[in-house]
Amino acid sequence: MTNVSRDTFQNRLRFLLENENPSRTERAERVQRIANQRGVTPATVNAWARGDRAPSNNTRDRIRRQALRQGASRAVQTRTNGRFGRSISNERAVRAVRAMETAVSRTREANIRAARLTGSQARLEAALMETLATPEEIASLGFRHERLTRASLEELRFLEDEGIDSWESWRSAYEQIAG
């Protein structure tokens, strides 16, 4: 069994409850289904989703696996000195990270192909060494996305007023990397 963090659990539970923007009735049915599966009340499932309470690790792990089976994106795990660091499990943040990784990879491959076509060894070596964004920069944008998503309206205003972070600066950095 995996030790599942509260953030990962909440993101997986939200995926199960809110995937494909269900109507209120559909969401209530999903809450009831999970409550029946776990032997708890719908109010308990809603408290889990809000983060007011957390179930046992066994329940968190089962919910995590159920969400993955139903199509939730796998978490992006960062490494620090060869060890696992934080992980990004927010569905939108994971998709943004994957999109940036794909864009960087495609751009790099296109640059290498173009360099090969010219026949210049120096240009090919430069294209092979060139990095548009490091994995750390991409993960950093993923963490920023999660922080901005979790922030309340007051926290967002504070972050913007203090010049710490904003959605506009995140989008700008994303577009710079992903193109």
Distance CA 69, CA 29 (A): 19
For the cut 80, the answer to whether the pLDDT of residue 82 exceeds it is: no
Q: What's the confidence (pLDDT) of residue 134?
A: 85
Extract the runs of DSSP E, i.e. beta strands, from the chain.
Answer: 76-80, 83-88
Radius of gyration (Cα) for the chain, nearest Å?
Answer: 20
Q: What's the confidence (pLDDT) of residue 124?
A: 87
pLDDT in tens, 19-64: 988 999 999 999 999 999 999 999 999 999 999 999 999 999 999 9
Q: Stretch 130-159: mean pLDDT, rounded?
A: 87
Q: Is the pTM of this model over 0.85?
A: no
Q: What's the confidence (pLDDT) of residue 56?
A: 94
The CA–CA distances, whole Å, from 128 to 68, 96, 119, 122 equal 35, 25, 14, 10
* Long-range contacts of 38-44, Cβ-Cβ distance < 8 Å, separation of 24 or more: 38/62, 38/63
Q: What's the confidence (pLDDT) of residue 127?
A: 85
Tokens standing for residue 106: 């495609």
Q: Stretch 101-118: mean pLDDT, rounded?
A: 90
Tokens standing for residue 20: 């494909």
For the cut 80, the answer to whether the pLDDT of residue 117 exceeds it is: yes
Q: Left if phi > 0, otherwise alpha if psi is -120 to 50, otherwise beta: which for 161?
A: alpha
Q: What's the confidence (pLDDT) of residue 63?
A: 95
**b/e per residue 118-141 (b: at least 16 CB within 10 A):** eeeeebbeebeeeebbeeebbbeb
Q: Stretch 92-100: mean pLDDT, rounded?
A: 89
Strand 83-88 and strand 76-80: pairing? antiparallel
